[in-house]
Structure 1
């Protein structure tokens, strides 16, 4: 192992799904099937770069013990020779169906085919070929990422698309049989969604129809979102005439392609890719892998906003807790029990003078990550410019005006997920700090009080390669241990 690989080894996430080797990106085909959670993902096992993607596959009974299976789909047919791109999964009569985009390149020419595959056991998939061989008239071959669902009248799917004039939108298709799809129209109108909309997801929760999508554009004064490749959501207007203006799903620099599924208890769950489309690799590529997925998040709809929280199943990974209340802070404050590279921090702060408060994370001699609350401005700011290796930036999220702030933070070896304002404001970032940079401290510019603090070290998930037994047999044998 090279010196670079040894130096990068401490960045491997402990409780986030990451690739065994190579590059991971979009989560695909999220579904609860045969008593297990299934997470498929875009995966190039051959290099830490974007290339001919397969569908990697992991499954779990409880979201903390994971099995890695062989790839569900690989680019080995003429219609997906340059990648089995993103898509979704649907159970129909006890069989698991995958729909995905087959990517084909012929020189500079791109072709995009929407394709099906099916499985009886959830492990071994048989490709069924094309079901939508070309984009409709008026749209380019930037046409991908089908999200499939079934209703009483048949099957529906949304697809990310680019119009012939170079602007992005989301298309709605209908079929009675999973074949012979008919375009029903655009779900996003106007030209403000960049040059392409990727990874759409349409679902209903609490009688509210919600759509996720990722507009791709250029950063600048005319771009509505915090990143060139943004993650957004919008809700159906009350009169059901169309979707309301979009809101930001994640304000951090490293969250993309959020996809959802319905959990076994009816909860709406989401994973996202912790990375950026314009960023092929990271400092961890020296160790042979790059990028990871977010933790599973539970979604809720509150007061016209989508909220996100870490799935409670992750609490099984907590170690012994540290609890504090009523701690006044003036200047810098540290606690000897508050440190770590895999940990969870739930903290409620208050101020009497609207002064700023900064939480310093992953502190070392030469690096730190700063999370700042500016109550007077109503802003939460994440500064990763000094976080270590890699390219950092400042990310800012708006907050309601208040003299109190609750923050729920998850720190893994190379990730940070921030849930603020009851999860209505979320920021996600990848960090690559120096080895041993585990310090956590607070710094206030005035008078701040820690009303409540809970801190836990987090243990690593158990991730193993799949046994030879079929998934259905595994599900039957493990039925009594399901989460």
Structure 2
């Protein structure tokens, strides 16, 4: 580690110490989600199970609640439920990364943890250079930078970043989020035999490729994997226009199902499907663990979407990561469900209610309230409509006639009600994770997911209110413990 990197890490650690009291005094600090100790968090990076532990890195700006020259922060976990903050992994100390150690991924090779990330460089006029860089670790905590291993291929602008690496047979592959010289979003594929010498073999997907048509000016944070007999490309395209209830956020995150031809460098795929229908979800990254599960974590935020209005800024921090989710492939689509290990966070016995007849009148159930909770609901097939109100700050509404489900929240920008939606022919189940300032809703065993930051008035009652036409067959509610262990 160079003296400059040591000094940057020292400065970042000093920021954590000097702001610890005001950060931790924020009533909107989350209980069971990963957050920055100070400053801004964005993309999850380097998600991997290595030497028996899970490691999850994140983009981090410790010196302000805006974007800038990013570090890599670092959490580890033995069980995906409770997490420990580890020492800073990467700081933007070298010339090839002086404006940020941008997003990337991790693999295991010869017993080492190997990180790949984008070194971001800008000159005084804002002209950008980009390098895909490599760092290695023998202990999972201290990293030796090996410098750039990929320079910019001639087919792209300098918006070329976020390498995701995996191994197939005897070859290593890397996908990189890219922008073509024609200012169209693409995903580039590279191949290597040794992780250090990479050959660019071409774009595998993007705007105006594979019959897709115009689909954004930049594709970020690509992730390619096989699941359930198909190939899946997860990507975050920028520049999509709203289409009815689709693409309502400033930028989107979703996936394509298809088949990657490694020889002809072509990804034949279907339509783009948003991974999360809520207000805050972007730049997800997956890994596969020793149990063979495909796991995913996303950023509970969206770039340039009212980031300066979050109420946590006054306490010198902003943003969080989603809960870890397990992905499965069924009936032509990805399902997302919270990892089973999250049940370890449940405190005490569940509050249980059964066979609850709903009516247009509001109904509060004993023991079903609170600031931090998990709730499971099962509905009768006869359910016609449903309304769930949460802390006077969020509402979930469903109509069988309309075949739609909506998440409404009280805007932290102007106090108005805003909405995100998706088509849903029937509502059979709902699993809710409510934290102090977030919601994650898993609908019909992960068929649809909504994620949102919410900021209930600090004086409001933390109530859960039901109404509807039909019956809740079964309801269970748990309080949840803290997930961060020091």
**Residue 347 in 1 paired to residue 380 in 2?**
no
- How far is the alpha carbon of 1:350 from its aligned partner? 3.5
Q: 1:291–1:323: structure 2 CA closer, same or farther, 3 Å change rule?
A: same
Q: Give the ranges of 4+ consecutive aligned residues of structure 1 lying more than 4 Å apart after TM superposition.
A: 4-8, 221-224, 237-241, 386-392
Match of 1:256 among 267, 272, 282: 282
Tell me what 1:333 maps to.
363
- How far is the alpha carbon of 1:129 from its aligned partner? 0.6
CA distance in 1, matches of 2:421, 2:184: 27
Match of 1:443 among 455, 460, 467: 467
Q: 1:391–1:150: structure 2 CA closer, same or farther, 3 Å change rule?
A: farther
TM-score (norm 2): 0.88
Tell me what 2:46 maps to.
29
**Residue 117 in 1 paired to residue 131 in 2?**
no
CA distance in 2, matches of 1:228, 1:462: 31
- How far is the alpha carbon of 1:99 from its aligned partner? 0.4
Q: 1:353–1:73: structure 2 CA closer, same or farther, 3 Å change rule?
A: closer
Q: 1:374–1:6: structure 2 CA closer, same or farther, 3 Å change rule?
A: same
2:383–2:400: 8 Å Cα contact kept in structure 1?
no
Question: 1:337-416, aligned counterparts within 5 Å?
Answer: 337-350=367-380, 352=382, 354=384, 356-363=385-392, 368-385=393-410, 393-399=418-424, 401-402=425-426, 404-416=427-439
CA distance in 2, matches of 1:311, 1:86: 24
User: What secondary structure, in the 3-state scheme, does the structure 1 residue paired with 2:221 have?
Assistant: strand
CA distance in 2, matches of 1:387, 1:443: 25
Q: Tell me which moved more, 331-340 or 94-103.
A: 331-340
User: What secondary structure, in the 3-state scheme, does the structure 1 residue paired with 2:268 have?
Assistant: coil
1:53–1:83: 8 Å Cα contact kept in structure 2?
yes
CA distance in 1, matches of 2:225, 2:176: 14
2:23–2:38: 8 Å Cα contact kept in structure 1?
no
Tell me what 1:272 maps to.
298
CA distance in 2, matches of 1:228, 1:392: 18
Deviations for 1:295-347, whole angstroms, at most 9, x for unmatched residues?
Answer: 11111111111001111111111122111111101121111311011101111
CA distance in 1, matches of 2:112, 2:25: 41
Q: 1:285–1:387: structure 2 CA closer, same or farther, 3 Å change rule?
A: closer
User: What secondary structure, in the 3-state scheme, does the structure 2 residue paired with 1:359 have?
Assistant: strand
1:219–1:227: 8 Å Cα contact kept in structure 2?
no
User: What secondary structure, in the 3-state scheme, does the structure 2 residue paired with 1:266 have?
Assistant: coil
Tell me what 1:474 maps to.
none
**Residue 155 in 1 paired to residue 148 in 2?**
no
What RMSD, in angstroms, separates the aligned Cα atoms of the two structures? 2.3
- How far is the alpha carbon of 1:224 from its aligned partner? 5.7
Long gaps (5+) in structure 2: 1-17
2:395–2:408: 8 Å Cα contact kept in structure 1?
yes
2:250–2:302: 8 Å Cα contact kept in structure 1?
no
Q: 1:277–1:288: structure 2 CA closer, same or farther, 3 Å change rule?
A: same
Tell me what 1:130 maps to.
148
CA distance in 1, matches of 2:244, 2:440: 28
Deviations for 1:24-62, whole angstroms, at most 9, x for unmatched residues?
Answer: 000000001111100000001111111110000010112
CA distance in 2, matches of 1:262, 1:7: 33
User: What secondary structure, in the 3-state scheme, does the structure 2 residue paired with 1:79 have?
Assistant: helix
Q: 1:8–1:215: structure 2 CA closer, same or farther, 3 Å change rule?
A: farther
Q: Tell me which moved more, 80-89 or 427-436.
A: 427-436
Tell me what 2:214 maps to.
192
- How far is the alpha carbon of 1:101 from its aligned partner? 0.2
CA distance in 1, matches of 2:42, 2:245: 24
1:357–1:443: 8 Å Cα contact kept in structure 2?
yes
Q: 1:11–1:219: structure 2 CA closer, same or farther, 3 Å change rule?
A: farther
Tell me what 1:432 maps to.
455
1:54–1:75: 8 Å Cα contact kept in structure 2?
yes
User: What secondary structure, in the 3-state scheme, does the structure 1 residue paired with 2:88 have?
Assistant: strand
Q: 1:83–1:415: structure 2 CA closer, same or farther, 3 Å change rule?
A: same
Tell me what 2:97 maps to.
80
Flag the structure with more relative contact order, 1 or 2, with Cα contacts below 8 A and sequence separation at least 6: 1
**Residue 206 in 1 paired to residue 228 in 2?**
yes
Long gaps (5+) in structure 1: 465-483
CA distance in 1, matches of 2:484, 2:132: 35
1:296–1:310: 8 Å Cα contact kept in structure 2?
yes
CA distance in 1, matches of 2:100, 2:418: 31
Tell me what 1:52 maps to.
69
Tell me what 1:146 maps to.
163
User: What secondary structure, in the 3-state scheme, does the structure 2 residue paired with 1:245 have?
Assistant: coil
CA distance in 2, matches of 1:93, 1:381: 48
Task: Report how many residues are paired.
Answer: 453
- How far is the alpha carbon of 1:278 from its aligned partner? 0.8
2:245–2:420: 8 Å Cα contact kept in structure 1?
no
- How far is the alpha carbon of 1:265 from its aligned partner? 1.1
